[in-house]
Protein backbone atom coordinates (compact mmCIF):
# COMPACT_ATOMS: atom_id res chain seq x y z
CA UNK A 1 0.00 0.00 0.00
CA UNK A 2 1.43 3.35 -1.04
CA UNK A 3 1.15 6.30 1.34
CA UNK A 4 0.85 8.84 -1.46
CA UNK A 5 -2.40 10.00 -3.08
CA UNK A 6 -3.92 7.75 -5.71
CA UNK A 7 -4.28 10.86 -7.88
CA UNK A 8 -0.52 11.18 -8.19
CA UNK A 9 -0.31 8.01 -10.30
CA UNK A 10 -1.43 10.07 -13.30
CA UNK A 11 -0.67 13.61 -12.16
CA UNK A 12 2.13 13.77 -9.61
CA UNK A 13 2.84 17.37 -8.53
CA UNK A 14 5.84 18.94 -10.20
CA UNK A 15 8.27 21.62 -9.11
CA UNK A 16 8.15 25.06 -10.62
CA UNK A 17 11.11 27.36 -10.99
CA UNK A 18 13.60 26.99 -8.14
CA UNK A 19 15.66 30.19 -8.33
CA UNK A 20 14.65 33.83 -8.44
CA UNK A 21 16.18 35.97 -11.16
CA UNK A 22 14.53 39.17 -9.92
CA UNK A 23 13.66 40.75 -6.59
CA UNK A 24 10.36 42.49 -7.31
CA UNK A 25 6.97 41.87 -8.86
CA UNK A 26 3.55 43.43 -9.11
CA UNK A 27 1.69 40.62 -7.33
CA UNK A 28 3.11 37.88 -5.13
CA UNK A 29 0.75 34.98 -4.44
CA UNK A 30 1.70 32.51 -1.69
CA UNK A 31 0.12 29.12 -2.36
CA UNK A 32 -0.16 27.16 -5.63
CA UNK A 33 -3.50 25.46 -4.98
CA UNK A 34 -6.89 26.15 -6.51
CA UNK A 35 -7.44 29.57 -4.95
CA UNK A 36 -3.94 30.93 -5.57
CA UNK A 37 -3.81 29.77 -9.18
CA UNK A 38 -7.36 30.90 -9.89
CA UNK A 39 -6.54 34.35 -8.50
CA UNK A 40 -3.43 34.48 -10.70
CA UNK A 41 -5.46 33.56 -13.79
CA UNK A 42 -8.11 36.22 -13.13
CA UNK A 43 -5.44 38.88 -12.53
CA UNK A 44 -3.57 37.91 -15.69
CA UNK A 45 -6.72 37.79 -17.82
CA UNK A 46 -7.51 41.31 -16.58
CA UNK A 47 -4.18 42.54 -17.93
CA UNK A 48 -2.10 42.39 -14.76
CA UNK A 49 1.48 41.44 -15.59
CA UNK A 50 4.47 40.42 -13.49
CA UNK A 51 2.68 37.89 -11.25
CA UNK A 52 4.67 35.43 -9.17
CA UNK A 53 3.26 32.39 -7.32
CA UNK A 54 5.43 30.78 -4.62
CA UNK A 55 4.95 27.59 -2.64
CA UNK A 56 7.00 25.64 -0.11
CA UNK A 57 5.77 22.37 -1.67
CA UNK A 58 5.44 21.29 -5.27
CA UNK A 59 2.68 22.84 -7.38
CA UNK A 60 -0.66 21.90 -5.83
CA UNK A 61 0.93 19.34 -3.50
CA UNK A 62 -1.30 20.31 -0.57
CA UNK A 63 -5.05 19.75 -0.41
CA UNK A 64 -5.56 20.57 -4.10
CA UNK A 65 -4.09 17.22 -5.22
CA UNK A 66 -5.20 15.17 -2.20
CA UNK A 67 -8.97 15.69 -1.89
CA UNK A 68 -11.86 13.50 -2.99
CA UNK A 69 -12.46 15.30 -6.27
CA UNK A 70 -16.11 16.07 -5.51
CA UNK A 71 -17.48 19.30 -6.99
CA UNK A 72 -20.50 21.22 -5.76
CA UNK A 73 -21.47 24.56 -4.31
CA UNK A 74 -23.34 23.90 -1.08
CA UNK A 75 -22.66 25.98 2.02
CA UNK A 76 -22.49 24.44 5.50
CA UNK A 77 -25.54 26.47 6.52
CA UNK A 78 -28.94 27.47 5.21
CA UNK A 79 -29.88 30.94 3.99
CA UNK A 80 -31.85 31.54 7.18
CA UNK A 81 -28.83 30.63 9.26
CA UNK A 82 -26.61 32.86 7.09
CA UNK A 83 -28.94 35.83 7.62
CA UNK A 84 -29.08 35.20 11.37
CA UNK A 85 -25.30 34.87 11.57
CA UNK A 86 -24.10 37.57 9.15
CA UNK A 87 -27.07 39.93 8.76
CA UNK A 88 -29.61 39.95 5.95
CA UNK A 89 -27.57 41.76 3.28
CA UNK A 90 -24.25 39.99 3.91
CA UNK A 91 -25.97 36.64 4.50
CA UNK A 92 -27.75 36.72 1.15
CA UNK A 93 -24.54 37.81 -0.57
CA UNK A 94 -22.64 34.90 0.98
CA UNK A 95 -25.24 32.42 -0.23
CA UNK A 96 -25.02 34.01 -3.67
CA UNK A 97 -21.25 33.48 -3.67
CA UNK A 98 -21.73 29.80 -2.90
CA UNK A 99 -24.40 29.48 -5.59
CA UNK A 100 -22.09 31.02 -8.19
CA UNK A 101 -19.05 28.87 -7.33
CA UNK A 102 -19.97 25.72 -9.29
CA UNK A 103 -21.01 27.52 -12.50
CA UNK A 104 -17.85 29.62 -12.29
CA UNK A 105 -15.64 26.57 -11.80
CA UNK A 106 -17.21 24.94 -14.89
CA UNK A 107 -16.70 28.10 -16.94
CA UNK A 108 -13.09 28.36 -15.82
CA UNK A 109 -12.60 24.68 -16.56
CA UNK A 110 -13.79 25.27 -20.12
CA UNK A 111 -10.80 27.60 -20.67
CA UNK A 112 -8.26 24.93 -19.65
CA UNK A 113 -6.48 22.96 -22.35
CA UNK A 114 -5.61 19.95 -20.18
CA UNK A 115 -8.30 17.32 -19.40
CA UNK A 116 -9.23 16.75 -15.75
CA UNK A 117 -11.86 13.97 -16.01
CA UNK A 118 -14.89 16.21 -15.45
CA UNK A 119 -18.02 14.14 -14.76
CA UNK A 120 -21.21 16.09 -13.95
CA UNK A 121 -23.04 12.91 -13.01
CA UNK A 122 -24.68 14.13 -9.80
CA UNK A 123 -23.94 13.84 -6.10
CA UNK A 124 -25.66 11.99 -3.28
CA UNK A 125 -26.08 13.12 0.31
CA UNK A 126 -26.94 10.19 2.58
CA UNK A 127 -29.26 11.00 5.49
CA UNK A 128 -27.87 9.58 8.72
CA UNK A 129 -31.18 9.90 10.58
CA UNK A 130 -34.83 10.65 9.86
CA UNK A 131 -34.32 14.04 11.49
CA UNK A 132 -31.54 14.72 9.00
CA UNK A 133 -33.81 13.70 6.15
CA UNK A 134 -36.47 16.12 7.37
CA UNK A 135 -33.86 18.91 7.30
CA UNK A 136 -32.81 17.95 3.76
CA UNK A 137 -36.45 18.06 2.60
CA UNK A 138 -36.99 21.40 4.29
CA UNK A 139 -33.83 22.78 2.70
CA UNK A 140 -34.84 21.54 -0.77
CA UNK A 141 -38.39 22.82 -0.41
CA UNK A 142 -37.08 26.27 0.54
CA UNK A 143 -35.28 26.68 -2.79
CA UNK A 144 -36.74 28.68 -5.68
CA UNK A 145 -38.84 26.50 -7.99
CA UNK A 146 -36.34 26.76 -10.86
CA UNK A 147 -33.58 25.35 -8.63
CA UNK A 148 -35.66 22.68 -6.92
CA UNK A 149 -35.80 20.56 -10.08
CA UNK A 150 -32.11 19.71 -9.68
CA UNK A 151 -32.81 17.89 -6.41
CA UNK A 152 -34.43 14.54 -5.73
CA UNK A 153 -35.35 13.28 -2.26
CA UNK A 154 -35.35 9.50 -1.78
CA UNK A 155 -36.74 7.61 1.18
CA UNK A 156 -35.01 4.65 2.81
CA UNK A 157 -36.57 2.11 0.47
CA UNK A 158 -35.52 4.09 -2.62
CA UNK A 159 -31.86 4.57 -1.64
CA UNK A 160 -30.64 1.28 -3.24
CA UNK A 161 -31.68 2.74 -6.60
CA UNK A 162 -28.72 5.16 -6.43
CA UNK A 163 -26.50 3.60 -3.75
CA UNK A 164 -26.34 -0.03 -2.65
CA UNK A 165 -26.07 0.42 1.10
CA UNK A 166 -28.38 0.04 4.08
CA UNK A 167 -26.78 2.59 6.41
CA UNK A 168 -28.84 5.66 5.42
CA UNK A 169 -32.43 6.65 6.26
CA UNK A 170 -32.80 8.31 2.90
CA UNK A 171 -30.83 10.41 0.47
CA UNK A 172 -30.83 13.61 -1.53
CA UNK A 173 -29.58 13.42 -5.11
CA UNK A 174 -28.35 16.61 -6.70
CA UNK A 175 -28.16 16.27 -10.46
CA UNK A 176 -26.03 19.34 -11.33
CA UNK A 177 -22.89 18.40 -9.42
CA UNK A 178 -20.25 15.71 -9.88
CA UNK A 179 -16.55 14.95 -9.65
CA UNK A 180 -13.17 15.52 -11.27
CA UNK A 181 -9.57 14.33 -11.04
CA UNK A 182 -8.31 16.91 -8.53
CA UNK A 183 -4.59 16.60 -9.31
CA UNK A 184 -5.19 16.90 -13.05
CA UNK A 185 -7.34 19.97 -12.39
CA UNK A 186 -4.70 21.82 -10.37
CA UNK A 187 -2.12 20.92 -13.03
CA UNK A 188 -4.42 22.33 -15.72
CA UNK A 189 -4.85 25.56 -13.73
CA UNK A 190 -1.07 25.88 -13.37
CA UNK A 191 -0.54 25.39 -17.09
CA UNK A 192 -3.20 27.99 -17.88
CA UNK A 193 -1.56 30.47 -15.49
CA UNK A 194 1.84 29.94 -17.10
CA UNK A 195 0.28 30.37 -20.53
CA UNK A 196 -0.84 33.83 -19.36
CA UNK A 197 2.68 34.74 -18.22
CA UNK A 198 2.43 33.83 -14.51
CA UNK A 199 5.67 32.48 -13.04
CA UNK A 200 5.48 29.70 -10.42
CA UNK A 201 8.29 29.07 -7.93
CA UNK A 202 8.45 26.12 -5.53
CA UNK A 203 10.63 25.22 -2.57
CA UNK A 204 10.20 28.65 -0.91
CA UNK A 205 8.48 29.09 2.46
CA UNK A 206 6.74 32.37 3.28
CA UNK A 207 8.23 33.85 6.47
CA UNK A 208 6.30 37.10 6.68
CA UNK A 209 6.31 40.55 5.11
CA UNK A 210 7.03 44.13 6.11
CA UNK A 211 5.69 47.32 4.65
CA UNK A 212 7.81 49.16 2.10
CA UNK A 213 7.48 52.59 0.52
CA UNK A 214 5.42 50.91 -2.18
CA UNK A 215 3.74 47.66 -1.21
CA UNK A 216 5.49 45.05 0.90
CA UNK A 217 8.75 43.13 1.07
CA UNK A 218 8.17 39.39 1.59
CA UNK A 219 10.80 37.18 3.16
CA UNK A 220 11.03 33.70 1.67
CA UNK A 221 13.08 30.89 3.19
CA UNK A 222 14.58 28.14 1.03
CA UNK A 223 13.03 24.81 2.08
CA UNK A 224 16.13 22.79 1.19
CA UNK A 225 18.55 25.19 2.82
CA UNK A 226 20.44 28.14 1.46
CA UNK A 227 20.02 31.87 1.74
CA UNK A 228 16.62 33.43 2.20
CA UNK A 229 15.21 35.68 -0.50
CA UNK A 230 13.34 38.97 -0.30
CA UNK A 231 10.78 39.93 -2.93
CA UNK A 232 9.22 43.37 -3.10
CA UNK A 233 5.62 43.23 -4.31
CA UNK A 234 2.98 45.88 -4.84
CA UNK A 235 0.42 43.43 -3.47
CA UNK A 236 0.66 40.11 -1.65
CA UNK A 237 -2.03 37.42 -1.51
CA UNK A 238 -1.87 34.56 1.01
CA UNK A 239 -3.69 31.48 -0.31
CA UNK A 240 -2.36 28.77 2.00
CA UNK A 241 -5.67 27.54 3.48
CA UNK A 242 -4.97 24.61 5.85
CA UNK A 243 -1.20 24.93 5.51
CA UNK A 244 -0.71 28.42 6.95
CA UNK A 245 2.30 28.60 9.27
CA UNK A 246 3.05 30.47 12.50
CA UNK A 247 4.53 33.29 10.43
CA UNK A 248 0.96 34.54 9.93
CA UNK A 249 -0.54 34.58 13.45
CA UNK A 250 -3.55 36.63 12.35
CA UNK A 251 -4.69 33.79 10.07
CA UNK A 252 -3.59 31.03 12.44
CA UNK A 253 -5.93 32.40 15.12
CA UNK A 254 -8.86 32.16 12.71
CA UNK A 255 -8.33 28.83 10.96
CA UNK A 256 -8.56 25.24 12.14
CA UNK A 257 -6.53 22.72 10.10
CA UNK A 258 -7.99 19.21 10.31
CA UNK A 259 -6.41 16.08 8.86
CA UNK A 260 -8.70 14.25 6.47
CA UNK A 261 -7.87 10.74 5.31
CA UNK A 262 -8.49 8.77 2.13
CA UNK A 263 -7.92 5.25 0.85
CA UNK A 264 -8.11 3.66 -2.58
CA UNK A 265 -8.95 0.01 -3.10
CA UNK A 266 -7.22 -2.25 -5.55
CA UNK A 267 -9.09 -2.73 -8.81
CA UNK A 268 -12.44 -4.48 -8.45
CA UNK A 269 -14.91 -5.83 -11.04
CA UNK A 270 -16.50 -2.91 -12.90
CA UNK A 271 -19.99 -4.43 -12.77
CA UNK A 272 -19.78 -4.86 -8.99
CA UNK A 273 -18.82 -1.23 -8.48
CA UNK A 274 -21.50 -0.08 -10.90
CA UNK A 275 -24.03 -1.90 -8.71
CA UNK A 276 -22.63 -0.31 -5.52
CA UNK A 277 -22.26 3.29 -6.79
CA UNK A 278 -24.19 3.61 -10.08
CA UNK A 279 -23.02 6.26 -12.57
CA UNK A 280 -19.98 7.00 -10.37
CA UNK A 281 -21.74 9.70 -8.42
CA UNK A 282 -19.86 11.40 -5.59
CA UNK A 283 -21.31 10.61 -2.16
CA UNK A 284 -21.23 12.35 1.21
CA UNK A 285 -23.51 12.16 4.21
CA UNK A 286 -24.99 14.17 7.09
CA UNK A 287 -23.01 12.65 9.96
CA UNK A 288 -20.76 14.83 12.07
CA UNK A 289 -17.99 12.31 11.38
CA UNK A 290 -18.92 12.05 7.76
CA UNK A 291 -18.02 9.59 5.05
CA UNK A 292 -17.31 10.78 1.50
CA UNK A 293 -16.58 8.40 -1.34
CA UNK A 294 -16.74 7.76 -5.07
CA UNK A 295 -15.18 5.54 -7.70
CA UNK A 296 -11.96 6.27 -9.53
CA UNK A 297 -12.40 7.96 -12.93
CA UNK A 298 -12.11 4.60 -14.71
CA UNK A 299 -14.78 3.20 -12.38
CA UNK A 300 -12.69 0.28 -11.08
CA UNK A 301 -11.77 1.38 -7.54
CA UNK A 302 -13.52 2.85 -4.55
CA UNK A 303 -11.95 6.01 -3.15
CA UNK A 304 -13.15 6.43 0.42
CA UNK A 305 -12.49 9.36 2.74
CA UNK A 306 -13.46 10.70 6.12
CA UNK A 307 -12.35 11.97 9.51
CA UNK A 308 -10.95 8.61 10.59
CA UNK A 309 -9.03 10.13 13.52
CA UNK A 310 -9.03 13.44 15.39
CA UNK A 311 -5.41 13.24 16.51
CA UNK A 312 -2.36 13.75 14.34
CA UNK A 313 -1.85 10.31 12.81
CA UNK A 314 -0.14 8.45 10.00
CA UNK A 315 -1.59 7.33 6.70
CA UNK A 316 -1.55 3.70 7.91
CA UNK A 317 -3.46 4.55 11.09
CA UNK A 318 -6.05 6.48 9.10
CA UNK A 319 -6.45 3.56 6.70
CA UNK A 320 -7.48 1.24 9.55
CA UNK A 321 -10.44 3.43 10.45
CA UNK A 322 -11.41 4.11 6.85
CA UNK A 323 -11.42 0.41 5.97
CA UNK A 324 -13.84 -0.16 8.85
CA UNK A 325 -16.04 2.71 7.62
CA UNK A 326 -15.96 1.39 4.03
CA UNK A 327 -16.87 -2.17 5.03
CA UNK A 328 -19.67 -0.77 7.19
CA UNK A 329 -21.03 1.03 4.12
CA UNK A 330 -20.37 -1.76 1.60
CA UNK A 331 -19.97 -5.27 3.12
CA UNK A 332 -18.99 -6.43 -0.38
CA UNK A 333 -15.59 -4.75 0.09
CA UNK A 334 -14.49 -6.98 2.97
CA UNK A 335 -11.10 -8.47 2.19
CA UNK A 336 -10.40 -6.17 -0.74
CA UNK A 337 -6.81 -4.91 -0.78
CA UNK A 338 -5.90 -1.25 -0.46
CA UNK A 339 -3.52 0.27 -2.99
CA UNK A 340 -3.17 3.78 -1.49
CA UNK A 341 -3.74 5.61 1.78
CA UNK A 342 -3.05 9.30 2.25
CA UNK A 343 -4.03 12.39 4.18
CA UNK A 344 -4.19 16.16 3.81
CA UNK A 345 -5.34 19.24 5.68
CA UNK A 346 -8.86 20.59 5.46
CA UNK A 347 -9.28 24.14 6.74
CA UNK A 348 -12.28 25.23 8.83
CA UNK A 349 -13.42 28.61 10.11
CA UNK A 350 -15.38 28.99 13.35
CA UNK A 351 -18.41 30.17 11.42
CA UNK A 352 -17.99 27.42 8.76
CA UNK A 353 -17.79 30.09 6.06
CA UNK A 354 -15.07 30.84 3.53
CA UNK A 355 -13.34 34.19 3.90
CA UNK A 356 -11.25 36.60 1.89
CA UNK A 357 -10.13 40.16 2.41
CA UNK A 358 -7.26 42.30 3.59
CA UNK A 359 -5.45 42.08 6.91
CA UNK A 360 -4.47 45.11 8.99
CA UNK A 361 -0.98 45.12 7.47
CA UNK A 362 -2.44 45.39 3.96
CA UNK A 363 -1.74 41.81 2.89
CA UNK A 364 -4.65 40.08 1.15
CA UNK A 365 -5.82 36.58 2.06
CA UNK A 366 -8.28 33.81 1.15
CA UNK A 367 -8.95 30.92 3.50
CA UNK A 368 -11.23 28.13 4.72
CA UNK A 369 -12.81 25.65 2.32
CA UNK A 370 -14.66 23.97 5.24
CA UNK A 371 -14.51 20.60 3.51
CA UNK A 372 -15.84 21.69 0.10
CA UNK A 373 -12.98 23.37 -1.65
CA UNK A 374 -12.71 22.66 -5.37
CA UNK A 375 -15.40 24.87 -6.92
CA UNK A 376 -15.52 27.12 -3.86
CA UNK A 377 -11.79 27.86 -3.80
CA UNK A 378 -11.68 28.31 -7.57
CA UNK A 379 -14.39 30.95 -7.27
CA UNK A 380 -12.91 32.47 -4.11
CA UNK A 381 -9.58 32.97 -5.87
CA UNK A 382 -11.39 34.77 -8.67
CA UNK A 383 -13.36 36.93 -6.23
CA UNK A 384 -10.31 38.03 -4.24
CA UNK A 385 -8.51 38.87 -7.50
CA UNK A 386 -11.38 41.16 -8.49
CA UNK A 387 -11.16 42.75 -5.05
CA UNK A 388 -7.40 43.28 -5.47
CA UNK A 389 -8.06 44.94 -8.83
CA UNK A 390 -10.35 47.41 -7.08
CA UNK A 391 -13.41 46.53 -9.14
CA UNK A 392 -16.65 48.07 -7.82
CA UNK A 393 -19.02 45.86 -5.85
CA UNK A 394 -16.41 43.24 -4.95
CA UNK A 395 -16.41 43.99 -1.19
CA UNK A 396 -19.40 41.76 -0.56
CA UNK A 397 -20.37 38.22 0.41
CA UNK A 398 -17.39 36.12 1.51
CA UNK A 399 -15.00 38.99 0.67
CA UNK A 400 -14.45 41.68 3.27
CA UNK A 401 -16.74 40.31 5.97
CA UNK A 402 -15.96 39.69 9.65
CA UNK A 403 -13.53 36.78 10.08
CA UNK A 404 -13.98 35.52 13.67
CA UNK A 405 -11.08 34.35 15.81
CA UNK A 406 -10.87 32.09 18.83
CA UNK A 407 -9.09 33.79 21.70
CA UNK A 408 -6.26 31.88 23.40
CA UNK A 409 -5.84 29.81 20.22
CA UNK A 410 -2.56 29.88 18.30
CA UNK A 411 -3.27 27.58 15.36
CA UNK A 412 -2.70 24.26 17.15
CA UNK A 413 -6.15 22.59 17.36
CA UNK A 414 -5.57 20.86 20.70
CA UNK A 415 -9.32 20.53 21.22
CA UNK A 416 -9.98 18.25 18.22
CA UNK A 417 -9.89 14.95 20.18
CA UNK A 418 -12.63 16.30 22.45
CA UNK A 419 -14.60 17.49 19.43
CA UNK A 420 -14.24 14.03 17.90
CA UNK A 421 -15.59 12.37 21.05
CA UNK A 422 -18.56 14.74 21.09
CA UNK A 423 -19.25 14.18 17.40
CA UNK A 424 -19.21 10.41 17.84
CA UNK A 425 -21.75 10.76 20.65
CA UNK A 426 -23.98 12.96 18.49
CA UNK A 427 -23.87 10.49 15.59
CA UNK A 428 -24.67 7.53 17.82
CA UNK A 429 -27.42 9.31 19.73
CA UNK A 430 -28.99 10.42 16.45
CA UNK A 431 -29.64 6.76 15.64
CA UNK A 432 -30.58 5.80 19.20
CA UNK A 433 -33.45 8.29 19.13
CA UNK A 434 -34.29 7.84 15.47
pLDDT one-digit tens code per residue, 329-365: 999 999 999 999 999 998 999 999 999 999 989 999 9
pLDDT at 153: 96
pLDDT at 369: 86
Going 142 to 143 to 149 to 152, the CA torsion angle's sign is negative
pLDDT at 308: 59
For residues 13 and 328, give the distance between their C-alpha atoms in angstroms, rounded to a whole number. 33
Pairing of strands 170-174, 123-127: antiparallel
DSSP 3-state helix, strand, coil percentages of the chain (rounded to 5)? 35, 25, 40
Tens-digit pLDDT string for the chain (434 aa)? 999 999 999 999 999 999 999 999 999 999 999 999 999 999 999 999 999 999 999 999 999 999 999 998 778 888 888 899 999 999 999 999 999 999 999 999 999 999 999 999 999 999 999 999 999 998 888 877 888 888 999 999 999 999 999 999 999 999 999 999 999 999 999 999 999 999 999 999 999 999 998 899 999 999 988 889 999 999 999 999 989 989 999 999 999 998 889 999 999 999 999 999 999 999 999 998 889 999 999 999 999 998 756 677 889 999 999 999 999 999 999 999 999 999 999 899 999 999 999 998 999 999 998 888 899 999 999 999 999 999 999 999 999 999 999 888 888 888 888 888 888 899 999 998 88
Burial letters for 152-180: b for 16+ Cβ neighbours within 10 Å, e otherwise?
bbbeeeebeebbbbebbbbbbbbebbbbb
pLDDT at 80: 86
For residues 119 and 297, give the distance between their C-alpha atoms in angstroms, rounded to a whole number. 9
pLDDT at 225: 82
Q: Residue 143: left if φ>0, alpha if ψ -120 to 50, beta else—which one?
A: beta
- 306: part of which helix (H) or strand (E)? strand 302-306
pLDDT at 188: 98
Bridge partners for 63 per DSSP: none
For residues 430 and 434, give the distance between their C-alpha atoms in angstroms, rounded to a whole number. 6
For residues 232 and 213, give the distance between their C-alpha atoms in angstroms, rounded to a whole number. 10
pLDDT at 73: 78
* Chain mean position to CA 210: 30
Amino acid sequence: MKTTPFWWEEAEPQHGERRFDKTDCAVLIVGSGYSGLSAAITLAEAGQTDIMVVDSLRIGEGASSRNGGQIGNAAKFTEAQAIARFGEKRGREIMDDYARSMPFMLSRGATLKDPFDLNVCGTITGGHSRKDMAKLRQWRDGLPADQRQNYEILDEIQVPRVLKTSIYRGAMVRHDQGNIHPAKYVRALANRARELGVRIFTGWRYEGARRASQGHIARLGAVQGGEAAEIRADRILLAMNGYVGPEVPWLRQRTIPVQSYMIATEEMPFDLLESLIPQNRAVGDTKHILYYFRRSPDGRRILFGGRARFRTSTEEEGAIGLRRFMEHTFPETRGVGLSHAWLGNVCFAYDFCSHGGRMEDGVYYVSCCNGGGISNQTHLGHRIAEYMLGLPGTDRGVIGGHFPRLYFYNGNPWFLPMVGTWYRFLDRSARWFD
